[in-house]
Structure 1
Amino acid sequence: MELGDRGYPIVIGSGLLDDADTIKTFVRNKLAYQQVCVVTNETIAPIYMEQLRSSLTGLQVETCILPDGEKYKNLDTLNQIFTCLLQTKFNRKACLVALGGGVVGDMTGFAAACYQRGIDFIQIPTTLLSQVDSSVGGKTGVNHVLGKNMIGAFKQPKSVVIDIDVLSTLPAAEFAAGMAEVIKYGLIWDQDFFTWLEQNAGALKALEPRALTFAIQKSCEIKAGIVAEDETEQGLRAILNLGHTFGHAIETHAGYGVWLHGQAVAVGMRMAIRMSNWLNESLGEELEARLVRLLEVFELPVYPPDGMNRDDFLTHMAVDKKNLNADIRLVLLDKLGQARVTSEYPMSTLNRLIDSFIGQS
């Protein structure tokens, strides 16, 4: 990640958690930490915690095991990390290690931004979604009952270590949720990558290592390039939220954790593509059809949940970080591989769009 003196390496490979040299390079030797707190959750800890600890012999290593699930991504759970750090007398030269998915990574990064006004942290993401999205770019935070990710800070990690082998233990629904974010990169930035995903969907679903490595690397490259141009989301970076305004509304309405983030984003992307086509007919209806076919390969939803109405969408969409004043800003496509953020659209078109999806699941 190219961010000047705050830049950091993103390492992608197989067997990295078992590779003590890799772990030592990015935690022990290169950065010379003496105190390391590994933040993980109750699902990941029994699977990977001992592998990581064995590579950190000789350091003061503490563990903070959080409950698992999006519904626990809140200030109460965040406080458990602070309590662990204070009880074990960690100082400003300590390092947090996020071992888990996006929830663990976001909360660990936020804790690192706040503890003693800022300490270092490292990302070791264990879900596809966190490997291609949340572990890269420095967005950290927690949810509030009124809005997703509305409390947080920008805090870049010191390194990101991505072991593709961990995906073999990932539930199919979680893997599919990550693929929604991978597909997003093709839609907003690289039409050739989108075509490659269509052609290699079967290999990805079968966890073929070469296909996985390429998809993860390409996703990280695209996100890193965008973040390097606009780290704190003042403009360009907001295009990474394609489908997220609709998707966050679904997550918030259903209750955090009922719908996986990637599942909600999948529906949100379809809604954004349809809206884009209505506003720009040259985009063509075929793109929505291509997206639906690709989402369905991974068994991702393409309609919002039953019982969600237009008012539900609009109420939750009004609470969004991209919004300015009272305007709901959306990420839309001008063409495949080119996105923009805008509030310049008729409200009647947004209403009609939402109505076209209501009751269709």
Structure 2
Amino acid sequence: MADLPAADWTKREDLAALVAALGVDNVRWVGGAVRDTRLGLPVKDIDAATTLLPDVVIERLNSAGIRTVPTGIDHGTVTALLDGGPVEVTTLRKDVSTDGRRATVAFASDWREDAARRDFTINALYAHPKTLEITDYFGGLADLEARRVRFIGDARERIREDHLRILRYYRFQARFGSLLDGEGEEACADLASTLKGLSRERVASELLLLLGLPEPLETVERMYERGVLAVVLPEVTGDGLAALASLIETEIGYGAEPSALRRFAALLPTESKLAETVAARLRLSNAQRKHLVRLAGRGAETDDPYALTYREGLEVARDLLLLAGQPVAAIEAWEIPVFPLKGGQIVARGVAAGPEVARVLQAVEARWIAEGFPDESRVNDLLADELAS
């Protein structure tokens, strides 16, 4: 049996205190922390599974001076607030009934039973907190070694339990997979229509998580070819896939960090109204909607990059330039200047307060931008020239 490498997080004193409070035989590390540690990847979130019921978990942790939040108490999850970061502690569970969108669960006491209700073999690895021995019920370690994302048991049954597992499959495939699982691929394609019953927020979250990965292109193309993408994002065409491929190549070439929303914009046609419709359907946040619509309304972006950055802000300008295949290093190192002219200065020159002040201000600012943001002395000359005209 394999062991979990002794990563830094496994040596945390606050985690040792949590284990001591619950009892070392009652707790196992599970899921992403175990999987990513085995792969030598950074660990962001730590999850624990326990044989103890939620009220017992709360009682024992509170008695040990560890604060808790009942974040998902109905499903057995209690969040322990530790110095090194929160840890979700979830009681072993088994599914009683599912409808593809939500599950009714019952608490269990058998580790294998808990593992059997999880989605993929690589997410059903349990590590003993003291010995770091890994318990693997369904061949997850071999799948990790092979870089294969495989459903636990029957893929179609797992998907019927939770339709979102189709999108999760593709996201995990893009992140971890190199060897395709034929059964999983066929099941996702055959049951793709079930995605229509999911909440739009859950769909949007998975799509953005997928697009934010370093190399999502091959997976997105496969989703398109198998008809899965059309169910959740029917606006995407072959041109969108080509635009995404070009953008990712540009990002790599210029050393730009991936941006899920930028890549989302690449997939969509360059139509602001259509982007507005997609954003509303997927219930993106107001900030995400505004950003996506602006990117969808892009042109050739031949404007001076500094002028573009001044008008749009760094984030939007960066995305517009990358979507146009242009470099961004110069604007990222540039401090956006402040226009050194106020309306009061124009009034002081004899212009009556009102629309004329705004017109003069805008005219001078436009000339200031066109001249490459000269100093205040030149702005005063521009103002005098504008007033004389």
TM superposition score normalised by structure 1: 0.27
Higher RCO by CA contacts (8 Å cutoff, separation 6 or greater): 1
The structure carrying a bigger strand percent of its residues is: 1
The structure with the larger Rg is 2
